[in-house]
Every structure is written in C-alpha cells, then in structure tokens.
Structure 1
Amino acid sequence: MADSGSEDIAVIGNTDLTPSESENNLKNTMAEKGTSLLKMMEISVAEAEKRTGKNAVNMQETYTVYLIETRPVDAASEGTNPVPDSLWRRYSEFELLRNYLLVTYPFLVVPPLPEKRAEFVWHKLSADNMDPDFVERRRVGLENFLLRVASHPDLSSDKIFYSFLTEENGWKETVFETGFQAKADSRLKALNATFRVKNPDKRFAEMKHYGDELQSVISQLLRVRARAADRLYGVYKVHGNYGRVFSEWSAIEKEMGDGLQSAGHHMDAYAASVDDILEEEEHYADQLKEYLFYADALRAVCRKHELTQYELEMAAQDLTSKKQQREELATGMIRTFSLKGMTSKLFGQETPEQREAKLKMLETQIEEGEELVKERNAECEEFVKSAWVDIERFKEQKDHDLREALISYAIMQISMCKKGIQVWNNAKECFSKM
C-alpha cells in the first residue's frame, strides 16, 4: 500500500565506500533530491523463521525473527541483480524502532506496527502468535511498516532507521545512545496536560475526537466482519453435506446416479474453497487494522500538542506571577493573599537591602521567564506547523488506502457470490441431464 516510486535517482551502491561514507552519500543524495529512501532502496521482509534461545532471565524461549533485505533501486535500472544485503530482526526490535520514532518525531503520525497478537479473530482463526498463518500476515505487516516509514518525507531520512535496515550488530546500542527514553513523556504528564490546558487548539481537539471515532468505527467493522466470517464458513461447509448426501443418493440410483454424483462433486469443491476465500479476506482485515492502530498514532500527536500547549501556559503563568511579585515588592502593596505577605505583617517589613536583593533576583527570573515563554511559544508554533502538514498528508493517504481496500473487498465479495451462483448453475445442469 506504500508508494514505491519510479523516479531516476543517483547511485548509492558504490562498493568502494566504507559503511559510514556510503551512509553519508545516501543522506546527501536524499537531501539534494528531496526524495524518500524508498525511491532509492528496495526494502522487503522476505521471510520469517522460528528460533529457540534464552531470554534476559536465562530461560528458554521460542521466538520469531524476520529477514530484512535491501538493495539499491538503481541496480535494476542498470540491468544488474546483485544479492541483496540482509539481516534478521525480532518483533521487539521493530517496537524499539517505532518507540524511538515516536519520541524523536512527536509532531508526525508515525506508521503503526502490525498486531503482536491476533485481535478480532473468528472461531477457526488461531490467536496463537506462533501460528504460521498469523506469522505470515505479521511478516507482511512488518514489511508494510518499513515501506511506510521509508516513503515518509521526514522519517525516511532518519539515520537510526537507516541503521536498522543495514547494521545487524550494534544497532540497539546506537538507539539507546540517543537518549530517547529520557525524552519520553509519562502517561501521567500527558493526562495532566489534557485536563489542565486552558486554551486547547480547536483543530487538534477535533482531530483527537476524530481519532477516537475512527478507532471506534473500525473496531465495530472488524467485529462485524469476524461474525460474518463465522457465518460464511458455516454456510460453505454445509454445502459439503449436500455433496455427501448427493454421493450417497447416487449409489442407489441407476438413471440419476451420474447427475447426482457430479452435483455432489461441485458442492464438495464449493465447500473446500472457503478456506482460501477467508484467508484472502484476512488480508483486507489487516489493512483495516492498520488504520485502527493509525488512529492511536494520530491521537498521540494531539496529546503531544496538548502537552506543548500546557508547558507554554505554565511558563506564561509563572512569568505573570513573577511580574506581580516584582510590582508588589516595588510598591509595598500586597494584592493577593500569600504566606510571605502574612509573614511580613507578623514579623515586620524587610530591610531596603533585602528588598533590593529580591528585586534584583526577580528581575533575573523575569528575564529568564520571558526567554522561556518565547522559546515555548516558538516550539508550539513550529509543532503546529509541522504536525498539521503531516496530518494533512496522513488524511490524504488514509482516504486513498481505505477507498482502495474497501473497493477491493467489495470486488472480492462479488466474485465470491458469482462463484456460488456458478456452482448452483452447474448443479442445475447436472440435475437436468438425469
């Protein structure tokens, strides 16, 4: 679903360069071209493999690793087909990459990962995260995640993302050296900002509400689809009973036997086809699930804006308080109740020297506060500008992807119904020949 692009680009596969020089060459080329990594590098998650090893507490565990393959796009245009560079990654490493992107680019709608464990499953579908079918769908989802990031106008040029694709060893250490974990906002801090911000931006408030509604609607749609899959599976399999009955009936009939036997074969084939149909349906469900998780990424941007706005308001409020203290100290008039004011009344006024020292300290604090408010205001304005550009990009992508997915799903359903009609038309012909 991510755009792979087809423009001519500069060579990035010079084998005479060191890894560091190669990376710098790639970044410089991308900066010059203003293009995404996906237009310069083919990226795929080629396969999944189950492995057994020991975890952090030295206990045996079974886990899945995924093979990431990359190669320069220009190799194909030159008619060469070199062996792709490859490395293995666990799902937890994909999670680490995304957490880093969330913290580093709080103003962007960061693409989501596929589900770690199956949700909205119908009765025949396994919820086991080691089930081969689920692992295969997750492989497809992880590849789509990489393609989304690699085609993003900002995320695609991130150095850590490039290292994730090209450096098998030492990648985690490089991520942790960025200190992104220390920059992560706590849930309590974000919740506090949500309830205490005084002047929320109406656009972001509406977008956050839209994210809630989008997630709710897609959740309902996936639940309906799971129930429909259960019923569809039952209907198809019941046709297998038709096949059994017609076959048994054909054994006791001489004139009608061949027709009944043929009709039974059509019913058996129809009953068996449901497995492939529902497997194909599952891929459309996964496309909907991507936007179920995208809704949370959208809300994360809105929550970060609330926090940015809240920090600005707190800085402005503190500056106002300092200025009021300066005025009260200069005039000797206490306008608001305070512990310091009561202390002055009970134990006498401060000396001129003490008041002068406090005024000097307040002046310094006010200068620092004005600078902080200026910085916070600039940060907030820059956040709004960058976030809204990316939200508009996301909305355009969402509209296109969901429209295509729903149209394809409708086409698949029409095809499925036509097959059902054809089965009964074939059965009708069999009965006519008896």
Structure 2
Amino acid sequence: TCLEFKSLSSLLKTSPYRPNMVERGTALLRKMEINVAEAEKRTGKNTVNMQETYTVYLIEIRPAETVPEGGTPATPDTLWRRYSEFELLRTYLLVTYPYIIIPPLPEKRAEFVWHKLAADNLDPDFVERRRVGLENFLLRVASHPVLSNDKIFFLFLTEVSTQVDSRLKSLSAMFRVKNPDKRFTALKHYSDELNTVISQLLRVRVKVADRLYGVYKVHGNYGRVFSEWSAIEKEMGDGLQSAGHHMDTYAASIDDILEEEEHYADQLKEYLFYTDAVRSVCRKHELIQYELEIVAQDLVHKKQQKEELATGTVRIFSLKGMTSKLFGQESQEQRESRLAALEQSIQEGEETLKEKNTECHEFVQTAWEDIERFKEQKDKDLREALISYAIMQISMCKKGIQVWSNAKECFNKM
C-alpha cells in the first residue's frame, strides 16, 4: 500500500546538534516524517564468523496525519540499520544518479578531533553525533527533487531486507580527455581547493580547541591557590574563596563548550565530504566525454578506411594493405562486400555518436542544474554554520569576561 505522509515536523526542533539545513519542498517530506531516533550497541558474528561489536541505528517513519485535538500521533514504523547499509545505499545512489551531487555520510571514524575527545567509533558522544549525521543524510536525500522519488531509497526506509541494485562500477578516470569541458574542470579545481581549505580550517580549530582546553583547565589552579590562600586569611578569606569558586566553575565549563563546538565542526565536515561527491560528478562527465571521443575517433577511422577502399589509395601503413601487396589485390566482389560492411558500420557509428552526444548533452544539463542547486544549498548552510560558530565563540568570551568581572567584585569586597 502507498503511504500518505506529511512534512517533517521534527526538523523544526531547535537543537545545538543540528541546524535547520534541510528544505521541505519535496513531495516525500511533505508526506513523511523521518527520524533516526536512537543508536544501540550490539554484538554478533560477521561474515567470517568472528565476534564483533557494532552499532545499529533505529529509523522511524511516521505518516503525516493531522492529529485531532487531544489525540495521539500515529505509531511510527521502525527498522534498524547498520552504518554499512547506509554506505551501500549511498553507493547505489552514486551509480544510479551520476549527474547528482549525492549527500555525504557522517564520518565512519572520528577525524579532526581535539585530543581530549574520545576518537573511538563506539564512544557514546561520537555515536550520538553520527546518529544526527545519518538522520541529516536521510533528510538530504528525502529533500532532493530526484533522489526522494527513488524506489530503492523508499525500500531502505520501509523494508527490513533491501535488494539494492548491484550495478556498482568503478568511475576511476584512468584515461585522458582531449577536449575537457572547462566548466567541469573549474568545478573540479574548486572542489579540490574547498577540500583543502576546510581541512585546514578543521586542523586550526583542533589546535585552538586544545589550547582553550589548556587555558580553561589552568584556571582550576587559580581556584586551588585562592582556596588555599583563603584558609590563612581572616578578612580576605571570603573574597578569595568566592573568587576561587568562580575559577573552578570556569575551568569545568570547557568540557561542555568544546563538546558543543564539535557539532559545529561536524557541519564543516559534511561539506568536506561533499567535495568527494562533487568530484565524482566531474569524473563521470569525464568518462562520458571520453566515450564520446572514442566513438568519434572510431567513426573517423572507418570513414578513412572506406575512402581508401573506394579510391584504392592507402594513406597509412596497415597489415591488410601489406597483405594485399604480397598476395595480390582482392576481387571486385570482395571490395564491394567490404564497402557494404563499412557503410553499415559507419551508419551504426553515426547513430552511436548521435546517442553519445545526446547522453553527454543531457548529462551536462541535468548535472549543472543539480550543481546550481548544491551551490545555493552550500552557501546557505556554511553561512549559517559559520555565524553560529562565531556566536558560540562570542558567548564563550563573554563568559570569560563575566568570570573575571565576578572575581574583581570578590577582590573589591576583601
């Protein structure tokens, strides 16, 4: 049966872990609520019959029915998925929609983390961040005007066993295109540079986070010293003890601050991984362009063969030409038969060339539409993420000023 669903209400929830980055314009998101509700650690045997510990994620989908006043919302349909199943879904989308910039998955293992944060992929904080990232991936796909209509994606959300299409093929560009499209060349260049810039930004953030952690924790030494000092003072004791308390509170606050900051870093990481998706579209275009050039080159060669056969002149050395010189010319019937075969082959080649030209034109048109959509999404998301990050930094600095202002008041009262 077809499910009737509505737009995603949970997307409007304000959370420090996820910005409102997904548009709800597709029919799927107007009819369906999608959540990755929780994560669960499990133990089982893998494909080589060895015991392993892994994490599964609970996907909830809920029909969008208007809940009557005083009523209860519909019970969601649920199923569990492993991270590897999300990877398989994304690989399927990459192969099936080569002209679309497929949304990335969150990192499989923690990268660009400050040294006090656990990098274990079973760490609860990391698993929670990955749960949010997987939900964001599903919402990105569900909000895309093309991907949201894919049958396999719908089955991924609704069927326990998903028969994902196995048309997995390598798109590695082990070839050189003679006439590359300058737009895609520029896009590939931009993607490489964006990857470099975001990587550098994340590395800088890690260094800043490590230094901030050290600065905040050292304030705990102020707290200890002021507390010890207050024990030997009579009139100054209360003021020193209060100042020490403010310093201890300040030192302890850094853990929550940097944990929150890690979620802003995840937003940057998403676009770090998006650069691979952009390069994948560029590689696919190179492959189509290369196939087009091979077909065109083969057609030129066959037309040249026809001309040589018709005129009896050989422009280039060939084994057949040398054979005819050694063993005599072929008969008129043989020549006519070869001419007819070449004409047939040329006709087929022209049809193939026409098809390849059409395929290339359609790919460029559809891919560029999606690239423009991606650019608009990227600018909006990164602007919001950087503004939120700046606001967080300002807030953090204000807390520091407030702590020392409070300490100053304590000293004034001594």
- Name the TM tier (shorter chain): over 0.9
Counterpart code for 1:417: C
What secondary structure, in the 3-state scheme, does the structure 2 residue paired with 1:65 have?
strand
Of residues 60, 64, 79 in structure 1, which corresponds to 2:55?
64
Q: Distance in 2 between matches of 1:231 and 1:348?
A: 86
Asked whether 1:185 is paired with 2:198, we answer no
1:37 deviation in Å? 1.4
Q: Percent identity?
A: 78
1:367 deviation in Å? 1.3
For the 8 Å contact 2:32–2:61, the answer to whether it is kept is yes
Counterpart code for 1:238: V
Cα RMSD of the aligned pairs, angstroms, is 1.5
What secondary structure, in the 3-state scheme, does the structure 2 residue paired with 1:64 have?
strand
What secondary structure, in the 3-state scheme, does the structure 1 residue paired with 2:35 have?
strand
Residue in 2 that maps onto 1:30: none
Q: Distance in 1 between matches of 2:290 and 2:66?
A: 50
For the 8 Å contact 2:56–2:81, the answer to whether it is kept is yes
1:86 deviation in Å? 0.7
For the 8 Å contact 2:63–2:74, the answer to whether it is kept is no
Residue deviations 1:229-283 (CA, integer Å, cap 9, x gap)? 0000000000000000000111111111111110000000000000010011000
Structure 1 stretch displaced more, 138-147 or 65-74: 65-74
Q: Distance in 1 between matches of 2:377 and 2:408?
A: 47
For the 8 Å contact 1:39–1:151, the answer to whether it is kept is no
Residue in 2 that maps onto 1:364: 344
For the 8 Å contact 2:26–2:142, the answer to whether it is kept is no
1:77 deviation in Å? 7.9
Asked whether 1:163 is paired with 2:155, we answer yes
Residue in 1 that maps onto 2:114: 122
Asked whether 1:427 is paired with 2:368, we answer no
What secondary structure, in the 3-state scheme, does the structure 1 residue paired with 2:174 have?
helix
Residue in 2 that maps onto 1:100: 92
Q: Distance in 1 between matches of 2:64 and 2:405?
A: 49
Residue in 2 that maps onto 1:31: none
For the 8 Å contact 1:249–1:257, the answer to whether it is kept is yes
Counterpart code for 2:365: K
Residue deviations 1:379-419 (CA, integer Å, cap 9, x gap)? 00000000000000000000000000000000000000000
For the 8 Å contact 1:36–1:152, the answer to whether it is kept is no
For the 8 Å contact 1:75–1:82, the answer to whether it is kept is no
What secondary structure, in the 3-state scheme, does the structure 2 residue paired with 1:74 have?
coil
1:351 deviation in Å? 1.4
Q: How many residues align?
A: 395
What secondary structure, in the 3-state scheme, does the structure 1 residue paired with 2:115 have?
coil
1:358 deviation in Å? 1.2
Residue deviations 1:315-352 (CA, integer Å, cap 9, x gap)? 11111111111111111111122222222222221111
For the 8 Å contact 1:260–1:431, the answer to whether it is kept is yes
Residue in 2 that maps onto 1:199: 179
TM-score of the two chains, using structure 1 as the length reference: 0.89
Counterpart code for 1:400: K
Residue in 1 that maps onto 2:201: 221
Counterpart code for 2:114: W
For the 8 Å contact 2:171–2:287, the answer to whether it is kept is no
Of residues 65, 79, 82 in structure 2, which corresponds to 1:87?
79
Q: Distance in 2 between matches of 1:67 and 1:361?
A: 61
Asked whether 1:308 is paired with 2:288, we answer yes
Q: Distance in 1 between matches of 2:42 and 2:26?
A: 37
1:352-431 alignment runs, 5 A limit: 352-431=332-411
- Structure with greater helix percent: 1
1:211 deviation in Å? 0.4
Q: Distance in 1 between matches of 2:288 and 2:27?
A: 28
Residue in 1 that maps onto 2:22: none
What secondary structure, in the 3-state scheme, does the structure 1 residue paired with 2:41 have?
strand
1:432 deviation in Å? 0.7
Of residues 136, 140, 145 in structure 1, which corresponds to 2:137?
145
Q: Distance in 2 between matches of 1:214 and 1:36?
A: 32
Asked whether 1:293 is paired with 2:273, we answer yes
TM-score of the two chains, using structure 2 as the length reference: 0.93
Unaligned runs of 5+ in 2: 6-24
Residue in 2 that maps onto 1:320: 300
Structure 1 stretch displaced more, 56-65 or 71-80: 71-80
Q: Distance in 2 between matches of 1:45 and 1:76?
A: 22
For the 8 Å contact 2:104–2:274, the answer to whether it is kept is yes
1:80 deviation in Å? 4.5
1:153 deviation in Å? 0.7
Q: Distance in 2 between matches of 1:273 and 1:363?
A: 80
1:76 deviation in Å? 4.6
Unaligned runs of 5+ in 1: 1-20, 27-33
Of residues 113, 123, 135 in structure 2, which corresponds to 1:131?
123
- Aligned in 2, Cα 1:99/1:274: closer, same or farther, shift over 3 Å? same
